[in-house]
Structure 1
Amino acid sequence: MIAALPSIVSRLRLKQLRLLIALDEQGSLHRAAEQVFISQPGATKSLHEIENTFGAELFTRNSQGLVPNDLGRCVIRYARLIHSDLAHLREEMVGILQGQGGRLSVGTIMGAVPMLMRALGRLRRKQPELSVEIVEDTSARLLGLVEQGRLDLAICRTSVSQRPDAYDALTLHPEQLTIVAHPDHPAGRAGMLSLADLSIYRWVVYPANMPMRLLLEREFSQCALEFPRYPVETASTFTMLSLLQEDPELVAVMPLAVAEFSEKFGIIRRLPLKLQSRSEPYGAVARRGSRLSAAALLLLEELQTEQLSA
């Protein structure tokens, strides 16, 4: 039976987490002990203490050494996260002392990437030694990272959460969508298109229940058209662009800002079809009541500038 949290917190030590990471990297107690500068008997004792702390065996012993089991892989994954968080903590403290603003972790959905890049570009010119981590993902996953404290801010939509009131929406930005395809797509030569004209082609679409997927489904429904069969589903910008490059007959819906950026480089072309539905705005989101870091406040100012210039 897994030990209770208070017991784990009171007994687990950081140097034990370093040993777990070393064991995963080395696969040998002897080599792991050398990596963390302790004796092999000391490493054996420490591993025994770790397993007693959690109340479970974390490794399988065999002739080749130690192999983490499912529980062990889980503990090692969190050991790495804790080690990484401590490194980020020190980095941010050094940055604050040196007046550099420290470290910033920000998440973004695909449609907000161009806006975020502009805001970060201005911020990094003001704070050239600021360390920045950018995570691109779906709104649901970004909100989870905000909730866990992994992100200072996320530019996404809170409506996808079952607890939208758990977050503060600090800015609000409209999003326009457009239909795109390969530059040589057959429909690209048309003067004006209807959704019926494009329903004969295969589509790249966002996964079910994502806002842009729901909008596209609504467009087809309003035109009394069947939603495309056998679509390719992805939430990845790069995957979507790669698919459109690979197959000149695919069609996709994409945020206008991303489409305009990609079209500059001849990767895609926008098709002459105006969507009737309006996309839900997105915003800069933080945990409700949380205190933003100095770097996050500076980024928020730049995002608000983007909002005013939109």
Structure 2
Amino acid sequence: MKTAINNRISQMRIKHLTLLERLMEYRSLRKAAESLRISEPSASQLVRDIEAMFGMTLFDRGRRGMTPNLKAEALLKRARVILREAQGMENDLTSLSEGQASSFYLGALPRCMQGLVPNTLAHLYRNEFNIRVHILEGSSTVLLSALDRGELDLAITRLLDDHGNVLADTRFDTQVLYEEGMSIICGNDHELAKAKGVRLSELKGYSWVLPSSGSVTRKLIETEFLNAGLSPPKPLVECAISASQLNMVRTGHFIGICPSSIAAQWQQQKLIRVVQVALKVPLPPIVAAWHLTKSDDPLIATIKGALLYNADTIAPKRKHRSRSS
């Protein structure tokens, strides 16, 4: 059995995987062949080669083109990782030949760009780190999807129930960086700024600015109100980026919500005030996630170590947890 698998791998070429990816995108052999600048008969032969290697049909042929089946979709997930790694190899060799540093692709939530990521990179570069880092900012959905496609080396994101199938997959490993709660915030001149012992029910009548509907934080604040037997607040303004919410709250008209570490940082800078109301629903932890095939990569280990070191300045009392530990 092992010999048969090795034979399949030895027969496979990058062109096979590239065609598989293009077929998944175009659902048309003709369009896929044109995108690769090869003839349609040549593309058809490559498809037959792939199916012969694995001894199974990967596409359903019909008048409307070639529709990938579940086996093709499963194979494509692996193929994308291989293709991205091959491209990364080429980029690194090109950079080295031109006297430039190799590259690392890092994904991060916008809120992690306010402290964790800048501090981590500053720490690394002060210690003779010579890798060029490319950063993709985005929501957990965007980051996990990019990681799944092999477009990121590591993602700093949240563990989400909606994405459990991605992070629970044996292809990925994760490390909890820190855990924290949520805080409700207001402007320094807001009437809630100096109030003590505020009840959740008292917040219903105020003007809210909240993250977009369906976002993690929005779902959690809605859950907080529902658990208390209250209808969730309906925001007058929706902002996806934490800094935008901060500017809205600073006007003194709105109240909003953000992770406790960011709220504490903003309050220390005298930009806002934290409303003294107890919240029970915690935020999902911030984690580092990477492809399992890169678990032995020394660069992953270096960056993960730096992230853990700097995460201690955000939540020093948390317990690190790794699925591999």
TM-score (norm 1): 0.65
Q: SS of the residue aligned with 1:240?
A: helix
1:259 paired with 2:285, answer no
Residues 209-261 of structure 1 show CA distances to partners (whole Å, capped at 9, x for unaligned) of: 3322222112111222221124422221222122223x412111101222223
Moved more, 126-135 or 268-277: 126-135
- Residue number in structure 2 paired with 1:201: 206
Cα shift at 1:283: 0.5
Report the residue type matching 1:303 in the other structure.
L
Report the residue type matching 1:183 in the other structure.
N
Correspondences of 1:28-177 after superposition (within 5 Å): 92-93=92-93, 102-113=102-113, 114-127=115-128, 129-159=130-160, 160-161=162-163, 163-164=165-166, 165-166=168-169, 167-177=172-182
CA–CA distance in structure 2, aligned partners of residues 191 and 199 of structure 1: 17
- Residue number in structure 1 paired with 2:24: none
CA–CA distance in structure 1, aligned partners of residues 269 and 90 of structure 2: 40
Q: Structure 1 stretches of 5 or more lacking a match?
A: 13-81
Q: Structure 2 stretches of 5 or more lacking a match?
A: 1-26, 39-82, 317-325
The sequence identity of aligned pairs, in percent, is: 22
Q: Structure 1 residues 143, 183: closer, same or farther in 2, change over 3 A?
A: same
CA–CA distance in structure 2, aligned partners of residues 7 and 222 of structure 1: 55
Residues 64-121 of structure 1 show CA distances to partners (whole Å, capped at 9, x for unaligned) of: xxxxxxxxxxxxxxxxxx9xx97x7666336668998622221222443322332222
Cα shift at 1:130: 3.0
CA–CA distance in structure 2, aligned partners of residues 98 and 175 of structure 1: 44
CA contact (8 A) 1:100 1:129 kept: no
CA contact (8 A) 1:154 1:286 kept: yes
1:7 aligned residue (16, 27, 33): 33
- Residue number in structure 2 paired with 1:20: none
Report the residue type matching 1:272 in the other structure.
Q
Q: SS of the residue aligned with 1:276?
A: coil
Cα shift at 1:161: 1.6
CA–CA distance in structure 1, aligned partners of residues 235 and 182 of structure 2: 22
Q: SS of the residue aligned with 2:253?
A: coil
CA–CA distance in structure 1, aligned partners of residues 95 and 301 of structure 2: 15
- Residue number in structure 2 paired with 1:225: 230
Residues 251-274 of structure 1 show CA distances to partners (whole Å, capped at 9, x for unaligned) of: 111012222232333322212122
CA–CA distance in structure 1, aligned partners of residues 119 and 148 of structure 2: 26
1:280 paired with 2:284, answer yes
Cα shift at 1:295: 3.7
CA contact (8 A) 1:106 1:154 kept: yes
Q: SS of the residue aligned with 2:173?
A: strand
CA–CA distance in structure 1, aligned partners of residues 31 and 173 of structure 2: 29
TM-score (norm 2): 0.62
How many residue pairs get matched? 238
Q: CA RMSD in A?
A: 3.3
CA contact (8 A) 2:116 2:311 kept: no
Q: SS of the residue aligned with 1:254?
A: strand
